[in-house]
A and B are shown apart, each in its own frame.
Chain A
Amino acid sequence: MHNSLKRMWAVLGLVATVCAVAATSAIASHKAGPTIVIWTDANRAASVGKVANAWAASNGATIQVVTKDFGSIETALGTVAAADAPDVVVAAHDWTGQLAANGLVEPLFPSKAVSAQFPKYTLDAFSYGTAVKKLYGIPVQIENIGLLVNTKLAKIPTTFAQLESEALAAKKKAHLSFGICVQQGSGGDAYHMYPFFSGLGGYVFGTNKAGNLNPKDVGVANPTFIKNSKLIDKWNKEGLINSKTDYSVCDTAFTKSQTPFWITGPWAVSDIQKAGVSFKVIQVPAISQASVPFLGVNGMMVTKFASTHNVDTAAKDLVVNYFTTPSAQTQLAAAGGRAPANIKAKATDPILAQFGKASKGGVPMPNIPQMSSVWSDLGQAWVRSTKGAGAMPAARSFKGAARAISYKIG
């Protein structure tokens, strides 16, 4: 009957589609040789692909570069299905604790000759362990903030007192509500205020005998810092610091030559150069101690999925022996606009060199998972005591933050 004919056509159509799909998926899944999957952010995707493919071509491997939002790599690694998981990831050093504690990344063992090409702190930044530390990543590029000085408006300060008086003079002249522009906001920003915090004797975590960061030793309200914290109240009163400034306020004020002083990192440079402002980058002059910045190191890690995919040895070769070479480091760091971690790699950019000098004595951002309890409270403590009228005395504010942090860490 007519109806059964229709039905037959329908069934035939279904069968045909099913076969077509099965065939395409079978073809798509067929690969030759070891394939190393690398997760990277969009900025570095091209150079990571280029460097890795140079290695792969001479070793008979295939590279598959997957572009991800940089910030999402850390969490995505914990939820991704093994079949889609990467073998190598671009990573920030402060993810090390989280990823290693989750058992998602593999320890790496570069040769002594390779290790010797990296500053010790960059390797420390990627090391983690509750008892004995192990290296979980290869440093590729380093970044830090510094004090940007508009050389037309101010002399390069050599002491903090000089910085303070110049900043206050400039503030008065331009009718600004701040002397030094430090990016904050109502939520606070501990990364950008850290030079002042360290200059007053503050620290986040102390170290134990083995040299590991100790989450039980929180130095946010240590006695030295609390003693010096009266200075914060003074700066707030005279308007040297004003936490209502955010990135766009600072960017506008500095590029329009209203303020001579801005504490920021290499990401701000292109805006300033476009505006034609001549500037120099220095470390914030010492207050009671050296005012060192937080250091950030980006690099490459080998995930535990590399063994699942049977490309573990290949991935380790690529990361430990190839991404560490000076030429690879130069290319990778240039793509991110930062200085390479390998001391033999050439950083020709004079401004990056100035940022490099401003990093002297700096502290890598703590890479233990407990740091997630610190960021917001430390930033908020600073904002509470530098928000102008109605600010809380710094001693009280930071003591409160220290209590909250210790409580959250438990």
Chain B
Amino acid sequence: MSTASTPPNPAEPPAFHPGLIARSIAFFSGSVGLGIKVALLAASNALAVWALYVLATHHRWPALGVLVVATLLIDWVYLAPVRWTLPAKFLIPGTVFLVGFQIIPILFTIDVAFSNYSTGHILARDQAIAAIKINSLQPPANGRQYDIAPARDSSGRLVLVMHDETGGKVYLGTPKGLTELSKSDVTIGATGQPTAAKGYKLITGAELFTLDQQLRDYKVPTSGGAAIQPQGTAIGVELKPTLRYDSKRNVFVRITDGKVFHDNGLGSFVSGPDELEPGWKTHIGFRNFSRIIHDPLVRKPFLSIFVWTFVFAAATVFSSFAVGLFLAIVLDKRGLRFQKLYRSVLVIPYAIPGFLSLLVWAGLLNDDFGVINRVFGIHVPWLFGGNVFSWLPFISWPRIAVVLVSVWLTTPYFFLVSMGALQSIPDELTEAARVDGGGAWQIFRRVTLPLLLVAVAPLMIASFAFNFNNFNNVYLLTGGGPYNGASSIAGNTDILISYTYKLAIASGKGSDYGLASAVAIIIFFIVAGISGVSFWRTKSLESLR
């Protein structure tokens, strides 16, 4: 019997094996995707409802309206079965974050820059007027203080049983005035507080606190416009207003001499040099900017600080790049032993929080006690010192120290970036250059570096912008010091941002956020200008591709 060989199966169509990416996209496109979409939308809606609740309790109606419209719009874009909303689905998440974390803070900064927001100008106008009224209450000459007990009389009205601390007499206080009570009718406790009064029911416990507003507004008139007012539930103080607010004329009038304090349009009631505290927050036009131009305190050191800031940022970026690139090239050698170890060690400065390493460096560089001077047996005045060369006052030891530490912190970044960029340069190019007889330096200079810069130059500009505003580096290392001039507002190592901080937050009468925002805007334009020009210049590099 011959066994007929089984005929081969008719050729099956080759099975289609989609790739991992395609499969994962497919996985998310069905009901899983819908579930995720619904979950994310529900989360964003829940967040919106919570925000609605908060905004409603704060009576922020315009913001509430915007939120409602935005939320409904987002829901519609993701749920509506229309094709043309497709691009919006991709754009919305980024746009929301852009608006929330970039646009709104910038708008807020601009708003503050045109306001007088500073110590003494924090409240709104009506709040400030209320606070001035409270502040104007003074105990009159021979004003008395009483231990009080809120009580109800026979018809349930709120009255105060009062014990005069100095005279020892007891009184009944009502909105009509004081009436003396017989001492035998009132029991006085150990602290001087009335604890019982015949004919009156003393209010105690939780009920007392329900009377907060009534007690705050309660006034027992005495002579000459003064009144006894409860301060808490146990003390009544005789107080007399020293200022009267005339809402028609919008002025405060001092009662004793009739002196008028008028609204100066800059958030204060003033009369000559006298100013009532507190003031309020208001817009004051370009005053903060004109102060920067006209105030010699701001203007005089501005140019020299600007030059130093520029040099600091540029020196940091170029030195870090040079050192980082050198290390990257050295460690790029194939077959180098412990290559990974070296690379890890070099990245350490980048991994340690900057705050920590800056404080450590401040200790290491200390002129007398620092490890660096001790180990090398030198006496370099790193932090307190003066000029390196007497003929070049621009270069001082503290400035060198600030740049050195900054380079130490920034180098690992450029090391990593250069390493990556070097590996992306095709070997054929350098190979070809070598065949053409180029030396190592020539190859680096003509082939490697230009190709490298295409990738690294934009990062250098970003790093420059960062270092231009590197507040921590200066402030934690030298505090802006040393202060070698007789006048001590701008320190030797102060950069624009640390100087701004000192000017706006730690000088004058407390903090001046308005001035600080105005300077911040100016710094923004400087950095944006420098970066813009640099980016425009680096476009020429891209023609290499």
Contacts and interface: CB of A to CB of B under 8 A. Distances in A.
A76 B498 CA distance: 22
Interface in A72-111: 75, 78-79, 81-83, 98, 100-104, 106-111
A3 B81 CA distance: 9
B514 interface: no
Interface stretch (B312-320, B362-370, B460-468): B362-370
Contacts of B231: 108-109, 316, 320
Contacts of B509: 101, 369-370, 372-373, 409
- Considering residues B58, B135, B274, B480, which has the most beta carbons from chain A within 10 angstroms of its beta carbon? B135
Interface stretch (A12-20, A165-173, A192-200, A277-285): A12-20
Interface residues of A, number: 97
A21 B508 contact: no
A369 B234 CA distance: 32
A83 B234 contact: no
Interface in B3-51: 31, 34, 37-39, 41-43, 45-46, 49-50
B216 A317 contact: no
Contacts of A315: 232
A390 B211 CA distance: 68
A388 interface: yes
B367 to A, nearest CB: 5
- Considering residues B39, B480, B485, B489, which has the most beta carbons from chain A within 10 angstroms of its beta carbon? B489
Interface string B181-221: 00000000001100000000000011011111101100000
B487 A403 contact: yes
B371 interface: no
A34 B509 CA distance: 36
B486 A113 contact: no
A314 interface: yes
A312 interface: yes
A396 interface: yes
Interface string A385-410: 00111101000110111011001111
Contact of A103 (B135, B206, B386, B506): B135
B482 A101 contact: no
- Considering residues B131, B277, B488, which has the most beta carbons from chain A within 10 angstroms of its beta carbon? B488
A7 interface: yes
Given A409-B508, A410-B508, A113 B191 contact: yes
A310 B212 contact: yes
B235 A187 contact: no
Interface stretch (A140-148, A227-235, A245-253, A341-349): A245-253
Interface in A220-278: 242-246, 248-249
11 contacts: A59-B209, A83-B54, A83-B57, A102-B119, A102-B122, A103-B277, A246-B366, A316-B231, A370-B508, A372-B506, A389-B381
Interface of A: 3, 6-7, 9-11, 13-14, 16-18, 20-22, 25, 29, 33-34, 59-61, 75, 78-79, 81-83, 98, 100-104, 106-113, 129-132, 134, 177, 185-188, 242-246, 248-249, 304, 307, 310-317, 320-321, 369-370, 372-373, 375-377, 380-381, 383-384, 387-390, 392, 396-397, 399-401, 403-404, 407-410
